[in-house]
Homo-oligomer: A and B are copies of this chain.
Amino acid sequence: MNPRRIALAGVILGLCSLLSFGALAADAKVKKSATDIAIGKECVACHMDDNPGLVGEWKKSSHAKQNVDCYDCHKATEGTPGAYKHREYKGKPNFITTVVSPKVCATCHAKEVDQQQPSHHALGGQILASLDNIMGEVIGGPAAVTAGCLQCHGSKVALDANNRPTPQTWPNTGIGRINPDGSLGSCSACHSRHRFSAAQAREPDTCGKCHLGPDHPQKEIYEESKHGIAFAAHKEEMNLKSKKWVVGKDYTAAPTCATCHMSATERQEVTHDVGERISWTLRPAVSVKLNMVRTDDKKAYDLPASIALPQVGDTYKGAKVVEVVTWEKRRKAMQDVCTACHTKRQIEGHYKQFDDVVELYNDKFAKPIAAMMGELTAKGYLTSAPFDEKIEWTWWEIWHHEGRRARHGAAMMGPDYTWWNGIYQVAQRTYFEWIPQMREAVRKKDGNEAFADALLQKYFKPIEGHDWYFNGISKDAIEKVRQGYEDRYGKGALK
């Protein structure tokens, strides 16, 4: 524990009752030294003149009500990363830091930070450490990475000679920010400063800062879904400022992103590990179900369901396994949320429809195309460098953009995203862009068109869904559709 945390923790009066829900700050006034109180007052007074909006927001916060002021969070110990002198008090310099990291927040909100540190969110900055980043840095440009990618993923906050964050790395509220003190993430990504409101974090727009757009339009999907429609219609009944905010109890009008992924039910506590209830990963080219392993060094690891799981007590990545959460258990946790408002059949039907879309995407499109891309590279038809050939961008958009939209659409009941923005585009692009580009890449290299044909024969032909590509949409196929529809709608139903 760094000296700063000890200092702040030291001034907290009495025992915090260890409630299942809620955090210390909301339960007890913070007490501190006369000096700290006086410095804090000076901060407030001066910034009230300079930045009245900033201080005004803080005044509305729980922090203000609990006596937690600027200095409590920004105070720093000389010599620690990011600490710099900012004015003085009674002849002694004040040291503060611009960056308030989760480590600082943990002084009062330890439980939440312990959940957040090993989460997928906190690791957002490390996701950038992949070849994909070449797309941003090399093909786009560093400035676009700074103002684009890193504002969501988080960057490593760099300090200048005066220990202040550099303008290239600050402002930055990326969810996976790498802080000067080594902690990961940014609580203010969701609990915007200087109000730090839990209510705001429960609103879908908060998540929409990053979860939107061509590659993962969760916000748009939510807004299309029955859930989002109900939220828009009944927001004033959502009881968003409620402390515990238990679905089915404190509110019934609609779920938000937070409801399903984080917040409390009558049987589950709130969690700040946002991936805990997720059974499929819809992120990669091919979706897999994910088990999770938690170790006693407060880390967590997602493992594909195909990989053998360590057991509680085993050593994993140099630490002891303390919990194994299978994908089935994660799914049950999510279904427990559904149960607050839906009966079993509804939930099972939803998951069936969702699983079917993921498997359609995986099996008909993603797996065979990924395998063919591998063969094309292995045989030298494509270079091993990423993104230097058009077909690589085509495949990228099939899985990273359109395929994700389909999968997320099905996960969250946004039919337009499942179909028009999803599988419709995956299919169109596969048949009318990827295949021609694949043929062209082979033709250009050595004219061995038989190889291109063989690839398709090997990977697409055995899949029933591709039959029309090889045999045409035959009269039989049209007849089959006709028959199906006549069974449903009566004779002559098919125009």
Q: List A residues at the B interface (Cβ < 8 Å).
A: 47, 50-54, 56-57, 60, 98, 125-126, 128-131, 133-152, 156, 164-171, 173, 178, 192, 195, 197, 199-200, 203, 205-206, 208-210, 212-215, 223-226, 228-230, 232-234, 237, 247-249, 252-253, 266, 339-343, 345-346, 348-354, 356-357, 359-360, 364, 383, 385-388, 390, 393, 406, 409-410, 413, 415-416, 418-424, 426-428, 431-432, 465, 468, 472-473, 477-478, 481, 484-485, 488-489, 493-495
Known: A146-B353, A233-B205, A495-B129. A346 touches B134 (CB 8 A): no
Q: Which residues of B contact A129 (CB under 8 A)?
A: 485, 488-489, 493-495
Tell me the number of copies of this protein: 3
Contact A224-B209, Cβ < 8 Å, known A53-B247, A230-B192, A383-B472: yes
Residue of A131, A228, A360, A473 most packed against chain B (CB within 10 A): A473
In the complex, what residues of B have CB within 8 A of residue A423's CB? 140-141, 144, 148
Minimal beta-carbon separation of A104 from chain B (angstroms)? 18
CA A415 to CA B219, docked complex, whole Å? 15
Q: Which single member of B146, B224, B390, B478 contacts A432 (CB below 8 Å)? A: B390
Closest to A202 in B: B233
User: What B residues does A229 contact at CB under 8 A?
Assistant: 192, 200, 203, 205-206, 208-209
Give chain B residues whose Cβ lies under 8 Å from the Cβ of A205.
223, 228-229, 232-233
Query: Shortest CB–CB separation between residue A261 and chain B, in angstroms?
Result: 16
| Given A125-B489, A167-B352, A393-B428, 18 additional A-B pairs, CB 8 A | A47-B343, A50-B339, A51-B339, A51-B342, A53-B248, A133-B481, A136-B419, A138-B465, A141-B360, A141-B364, A143-B357, A148-B419, A156-B489, A170-B346, A200-B230, A209-B226, A385-B473, A393-B432
Closest partner residue, chain B, to A344 (CB atom): B50
Would you give 9 A-B contacts (Cβ < 8 Å), ordered by A?
A: A57-B253, A126-B493, A138-B468, A147-B410, A148-B422, A178-B489, A208-B224, A383-B472, A388-B473
A415-B171 in contact (CB<8A): no
A57 to chain B: closest residue by CB: B252
Name the B residues within 8 Å of A383 (CB-CB).
472
Is B473's CB under 8 angstroms from A387's CB? yes
A238 to B: closest C-beta gap in Å: 11
Residues in B with CB closer than 8 Å to A393 are 428, 432
Using known A-B contacts A171-B350, A206-B229, determine if residue A151 contacts B413 with beta carbons closer than 8 Å.
Answer: yes
Please measure, in the bound complex, the distance between the C-alpha atom of A292 and the C-alpha atom of B145, giving whole angstroms. Answer: 32
Question: Bound complex: CA of A416 vs CA of B359, how far in Å?
Answer: 28
Distance between A171 CB and nearest chain B CB, rounded to angstroms? 5
Contacts of A232 in B (CB 8 A): 203, 205
From A195, A199, A225, A351, residue with most partner B Cβ within 10 Å: A195
Cα(A148)–Cα(B232), bound, Å: 22
Residues of B within 8 Å of A168, CB to CB, are 349, 352-353, 356
A423: nearest chain-B partner, CB-CB:
B144
With contact pairs A131-B495, A168-B353, A205-B232 given, residues A156 and B488 touching in the complex (Cβ less than 8 Å): yes
Q: Is the CB of A418 within 8 A of B343?
A: no
A341-B359 Cα distance, complex, nearest whole Å: 48
Give A423 to B140 CA distance when docked, in angstroms. 6
Cross-chain contact A138 with B481 (CB below 8 angstroms): yes
The smallest C-beta distance from A467 to any residue of chain B, in angstroms, reads 8
Residues from chain B with a CB closer than 8 A to the CB of A151 are 413, 415, 418
Q: Are A424 and B140 neighbours in the complex by a CB distance under 8 Å?
A: yes
Q: Which residue on B lies nearest to A356, using beta carbons? A: B143
Q: Which B residues are CB-close (under 8 A) to A420?
A: 148, 213-215
Are the CB atoms of A431 and B139 closer together than 8 Å? yes
A165 in contact with B345 given A419-B148, A424-B135 (CB within 8 Å): yes
State in angstroms the CA–CA spacing of A206 and B208 once bound together: 20
- Tell me the nearest residue of chain B to A387, going by C-beta: B473
